[in-house]
Structure 1
Amino acid sequence: DVSGQPRECERIESPLEYQSRSVACLPNNTGFAVGSIDGRVAVRYLQNAEKNFIFRCHRQGSRVYGVNAICFHSRPGIFATVGSDGGVNFWDKDKKQRLKAFQPIQRPVPCANFNAKGDLFAYGSSYDWFRGSAFHNPTSPNHIYVHYVSDDEINSINPKNKTSIKNK
């Protein structure tokens, strides 16, 4: 019944130390992934806490950037993160592995999503206010990128460009 008020299922404190910036439910309804302003993602299971983990991403040396969006692919366990660093990454949550790191673009990436089939991935670039109003340039163009997703990019069997996630 969607006519009434939303019902709270469970209230959980964020597993991340800093401000939450993005959240996405796992497609199989077993938990969620949450991203923070300090470039970390936590994968949290509602019924199986032993599987919970946190990892670092969207960092360049000692500089950290917010994880602006998390979106899941139609293939189980595959998801993408985008960040204030202009980075776009594909991940395999079950194998705890980065599958693809796109070449970073020169502007923050505040939003992204896969289509229902999972063969298209769209993401936008625009200012995300991560660095405050002093760095906002109203004349900078905003762009939408549409990427054809190949099986090679989301296949964790192929070792090319894969990086293991370190639990942090």
Structure 2
Amino acid sequence: MADQKEIELASPPFDSISSVTFSPTNPSHLLVGGWDASVRLYDVNANDQKSKYDHKAAVLSCCFGDATKAYSGGLDTWVREFDLERETTRVLGQHAESISRVVWIKDTNTLISGAWDRTLRLWDPRAQAPCTATHPQPERVYCMDAVGNTIVVGMAGRHIYIYDARKMGEPLQKRESSLKFMTRAVACMIDGKGFATSSVEGRIAVDYLDPSPEAQVKKYAFKCHRQTVDGVDHVWPVNALAFHPVHNTFASGGSDGTVSLWDHTAKKRLRQYPKFKDGVPALAFSADGTKLAVAVSYCWDDGNKPAAGVGKTAVLVRDVGDEAKPKVK
């Protein structure tokens, strides 16, 4: 029986999903990017696909700029802008290798893209030459998130760099990941005090930006998205993290097909939703915190999937209630 608090969107991508993100101003508008080289805009309240645009290869990341513009990047190496009102698209520029993440910085009206070519690039869509700066990184960029003007970048080799968007010349901090294995996702706390990272080895780390010993002693990591079957410990990658915009708790999604809500201050799991039919590669809360979008599809953990798996994708949108509130102290 279907969960009455959860709807499944019609016309999902027909190949694995890589990215979901809600509009910063309209809690009903959701962007979905996928390995079918598409970016789709949905009105989740109406369960309607409003528009769609295509890349030349898989889309790995998409984001809103404001309510009228969307941006995306992926394996074709091009940064694209989509005008949601006119339904027109244009290319802002290119990386030398695949783009893993695009993030919009509202305060500076800047798009930041990170790629496997070991660079971050800054884009001003209003400028005649949109690429305004290129900043070399020590390794391939795997994931990135921002809150206010703070940007956290996760890279290969367990590098974590923290930047101020207003002065990108040098990172504010250079850290080594608290996790021993490859960083899969990063998400910033809404209060700007810290961030969470996840790894391919079923762990999440909670870190704080303040470099003082008093703040750093609070950081910790924990095991999750694991299951013991017949005495064997099965471990799955944690692919997605998203902080709730009101309560500052966070959700995690893994290749085990589960989504959990966590209170990182109390170090407690608040809720685990019923298991989905496939892995969870992406998550996003709406700007008002009333909805959680969950992408469900093959997560490529076992390499190329059989052709029979194509088409088994879904985007589910859950109503979020008191289960996301932190534990009462």
- If the TM-score is normalised by the length of the shorter chain, which range does it land in? 0.7 to 0.9
Structure 1 unaligned residues grouped into runs of 5+: 159-168
TM-score normalised per structure 2: 0.45
| Alpha carbons 2:263, 2:327 under 8 Å: kept | no
Q: Which has the larger radius of gyration?
A: 2
TM-score for both structures, normalised by structure 1: 0.86
Structure-2 residue corresponding to 1:52: 219
CA distance in 2: counterparts of 1:69 and 1:39, whole angstroms: 11
- Give the secondary-structure state (helix, strand or coil) at the position aligned to 2:257: coil
Give the conservation status (yes or no) of the 8 Å contact 1:73–1:118: yes
CA gap 1:36/1:97 in 2 versus in 1, 3 angstroms: same
**Where does residue 128 of structure 1 map in the other structure?**
299
Percent identity of the aligned residues? 35
Q: Measured at CA, do residues 90 and 14 of structure 1 come closer, stay the same or move farther in structure 2, by a change above 3 Å?
A: same
Task: Measure the CA separation in 1 of the matches of 2:254 and 2:221.
Answer: 16
Aligned equivalent of 1:63 = 234
Counterpart pick for 2:204 among 41, 46, 64: 41
Q: Tell me, in whole angstroms, the C-alpha distance in 2 between the residues paired with 1:15 and 1:114.
A: 25
Q: Which residue type is aligned with residue 257 of structure 2?
A: G
Could you say which residue in structure 1 is the equivalent of 2:249? 78
Name the count of aligned residue pairs.
157
Moved over 2 A (4+): 1-6, 134-140, 155-158
State the alpha-carbon separation in 2 of the partners of residues 40 and 87 from structure 1. Answer: 14
SS at match of 2:181: coil
- 1:139 corresponds to: 310
Cα pair 1:127 1:136 within 8 Å, conserved: no
In the alignment, structure 1 residue 148 sits paired with structure 2 residue 322:
no
Distance in 2 between residues matched to 1:115 and 1:56, nearest whole Å? 27
Could you say what the CA RMSD is over the residues aligned between the two structures, in angstroms? Answer: 1.8
Greater strand content? 2
Q: Does 1:87 align with 2:258?
A: yes
CA–CA separation in structure 1 for the residues paired with 2:327 and 2:246: 14
Of structures 1 and 2, the one scoring higher in RCO (CA 8 A, sep 6+) is 1
Q: Choose which of 10, 13, 23 in structure 1 pairs with 2:176.
A: 13
Please, which runs of 5 or more residues in structure 2 have no aligned partner? 1-107, 111-123, 125-131, 134-164
Q: Tell me the alpha carbon deviations over residues 63-119 of structure 1, each in whole angstroms, 9 at most, x when there is no partner.
A: 000010100002343100000000100111111110000111120000011001101
CA separation of 1:134/1:122 partners in 2, compared to 1, >3 Å: closer, same or farther? closer
